[in-house]
Amino acid sequence: MALYSDKVMDHFQHPRNVGKMEDADGIGEVGNAKCGDIMRMYIKVDHDTQTITDVKFNTFGCGSAIATSSMATELIKGKPISEALTLSNKAVVEALDGLPAQKIHCSVLAEEAVRAAIRDYYDKNNIPYGDELRECDGHCDTCHQEHE
């Protein structure tokens, strides 16, 4: 059995929505010091409909980090912010037809990058956010994992 699914390999070799967005409405950057992966997510939002009209990413990291970033952008592009906030790392993994256990943290980073970009958009526009954007307290639904 292959270590990576065809979808993971496709999103790694042909990432979607890669690049920098100069006029982004929200920018989120997250990283994992243990593995060195760093993701930066850019979103453009239609202020009237609160819909993500465009999304880009830059990721420094392994193939799984690039693939999960790419898939996350595909899953939120064209969606209302309220729907993008429901994106979970599990949904990213499922959309990629799985990841090796040691690479699940990449999907967590992708989820966190989306949330960080939305949080930045809310902050820039003085939009209060509720529980869906609270900071992780070490055991939460935000990243769906126990933390050390």
Catalytic residues: 35, 106
- Report which of 110, 40, 23 is spatially closest to residue 75, judged by C-alpha positions: 110
80 close to 49: Cβ distance less than 8 angstroms: yes
The C-alpha angle with vertex 99 and arms to 96 and 104, in degrees rounded to 5, equals: 115
Token digits for 15? Answer: 């990432």
